[in-house]
Amino acid sequence: MDTARQAEIDAIKQVVAAIEHFQRNELPEEFIGLFRSDAIWTTAHGKRLTGRDEIAEFTRKVLPGAMRDTTVTYEPVHILFIRPDVAAVKAVAQYRTPDGEPVGNPNTPLYVMAKEDGRWLLVACQNTGVLDA
């Protein structure tokens, strides 16, 4: 793999790490800043949010206090470059107790990201819960 492609992969992984950090530390404004202004996001419960304003309104309601009894980890597990400036990123999100024990089943978010002005932004996201098999 060439160094330029590896640099893009590293930058995308940093966005996923930022998602984790902002969620764990309940930082709604920072989380909202990861989205492009016209982004769409479907939550794990199926709520569709269109545009950064809707995403912001929802996030400001649900994120504060969300990590009161848990924490969360995000791991990118697959990155597919659709174009050099567009990538689909599959991740695993696992809620955990403060001691690190898993809580429930993981979620498997899909983030479509676009690179604009040198920065990877969330454009179309689907956070899917995993049911028991």
CA distance 76 to 103: 19
pLDDT in tens, 79-127: 999 999 999 999 999 999 988 899 989 999 999 999 999 999 999 999 9
Handedness of CA 90, 44, 20, 100 (dihedral sign): negative
Predicted model pTM: 0.93
Q: Which domains does the chain have, with CATH numbers?
A: 3-126 (3.10.450.50)
